[in-house]
Amino acid sequence: MKLLIVRLSALGDIIHTLPLAENARRAGASVGWLCESRYRDVLEGNPSVDRIFLADTRGWRSDPVGAATRGGYRHLRSELAAFAADRTIDAQGLWKSAVLARLAGAPVVGFAASERREGSSALLCSLSVRPSPEARHVVDRNLALLSAVGVPILARAPDARYLLARESPEADAFLAAQPRPFALYHPGAGRPEKVWGEENLARVASRLAESAGLAPALSWGPGDEERVARMAARLPDARRVPSLAPHGLARVMAAAEIFVGGDTGPLHLADAVGVRTLALFGPTDPERNGPYRGASLRYDATTSPETVAKRAAEALARPAPGAVPL
């Protein structure tokens, strides 16, 4: 069987979809994956993915005439036709993912309208799936799509350790100068309401440096520049991770004792490379969106840095899920 997975973005969501590819490959399927061009690096080297297909939906929307005349749509359609998938899984649940899933020409399996962010896009699915109430976490909900096409589920936790096999001189240079052991803190998030606050996080880092001897290092992504600068000002000894591609960031994460951050893609990447994590959740539900293996803490206005530092110490007392030493 040939199976095409459509999960265009973003980093954390792609991580949460990795078990679909792993289980399909274990069942003997040939697996293709359609993602946005900017997330190709997350999937490169994945032993469960035979082909990566690329979309540029932002570029196509900004210049639809140019995309058509330069063959962007036609080129992708011809590539998907050559792959000749037997089934396509739309794991995103948007109109754009559903439309692109249909390009492959195979029956599309996706979530039912009530389970999708854009419910009416379920019209393009040949088979609509409603996960069972027991499937709370987004990973388990995604796996319900795979079960619907008869693929047995043998592995559930996302595993992105394949990224560690790729070289990253920038990451290695950072690690060579980084004091050990260290904790990695990520003050940013995709939405402001998901941010606990860099001052609070800096106080946690100071407490873990004193109590557990963990040197602080700061992780960040596009849009986090001001937050990480404010946190660095409160932690003069903290080193900032350079701007790295996902495989380079994964190498830094794998060397850390623990990753502490909010509901953001790097958190899920850290969990998928086997690092201890402490996820700090405010408005979102960690039972649905938290790290699949790591620890979570739901905070409110009364949550103190001392409470978070204590939970981090508890997480440190447990074995790491499976980090690969560097």
Other Cβ atoms within 10 Å of 249 Cβ, number: 28
Residue 208 in this model has a pLDDT that exceeds 90: yes
Structural contact between residues 158 and 268, judged by C-beta atoms closer than 8 angstroms: yes
pLDDT value, residue 307 = 98
Across 144-172, average pLDDT: 97
Other Cβ atoms within 10 Å of 305 Cβ, number: 19
| Distance from C-alpha of 77 to C-alpha of 88, rounded to nearest angstrom | 14
Instruction: Provide CB contacts within 8 A for 64, sequence distance 6+.
Output: none
Residue 133 in this model has a pLDDT that exceeds 60: yes
Place of tokens 């992708």: 76
Q: How large a percentage of the chain has pLDDT more than 90?
A: 89
Average per-residue pLDDT in the chain? 94
- Listing DSSP states for 148-190 in one string gives TTT------S---GGGGGS--HHHHHHHHHS-SSEEEEE---S
Residue-range domains of the chain with CATH = 2-159 (3.40.50.2000), 163-316 (3.40.50.2000)
pLDDT value, residue 71 = 61
Residues facing residue 297 across a β-bridge: 280
Global pTM value: 0.95
Which two structure tokens, joined as six digits, stand for 240? 């900032």
Helices (H) and strands (E) in the chain, counts: 14, 12
Other Cβ atoms within 10 Å of 273 Cβ, number: 28
| Distance from C-alpha of 79 to C-alpha of 95, rounded to nearest angstrom | 21
With 0-12 / 13-18 / 19 or more C-beta atoms within 10 angstroms meaning exposed / middle / buried, residue 319 is exposed
At 70, the pLDDT band (50, 70, 90 cuts) reads: low
pLDDT value, residue 65 = 59
